[in-house]
Amino acid sequence: MERRQKIDNRGDQLLIVFTEPEAQDYWLKPGDEFEIRAPITDANAQFEISIHEEGITIWPPHEMGYISVWHNDVELGCGHQRPSGWGES
């Protein structure tokens, strides 16, 4: 089984989406939509989603495997649409 959840950016600024526990970053432009997916071993397993100043962080519960991020049925890589210079000190 697989759990899927859509995330969209209805704002007017770039929005960061972190997937844990790997701390992978993906960036949603205004008007964009991603779909997060993960295998599940329990039909009741749900993503744990936290909204904060920096953006959104998504955690898998114990009954869920690795979280992948998709756009238009294409799996995205870590750093998708990352702004240049982000994370530099």
Which residues fall within 8 angstroms of residue 6, CB to CB, at 6 or more apart? 33, 34, 35, 36
For the record, the structure tokens of 64 come out as 């869920």
User: Rounded to two decimals, what is the model's pTM?
Assistant: 0.90
Domain boundaries, the chain: 2-74
Kindly report, residue by residue over 22-81, the tens digit of the pLDDT.
Answer: 989 999 999 999 999 999 999 999 999 999 988 999 999 999 999 999 999 999 999 999
The two beta strands, 24-28 and 15-19, are: antiparallel
Amino acid symbol at 32? D
> Where are the strands (E) in the chain, listed by range?
2-8, 15-19, 24-28, 33-39, 48-52, 55-59, 68-71, 74-75
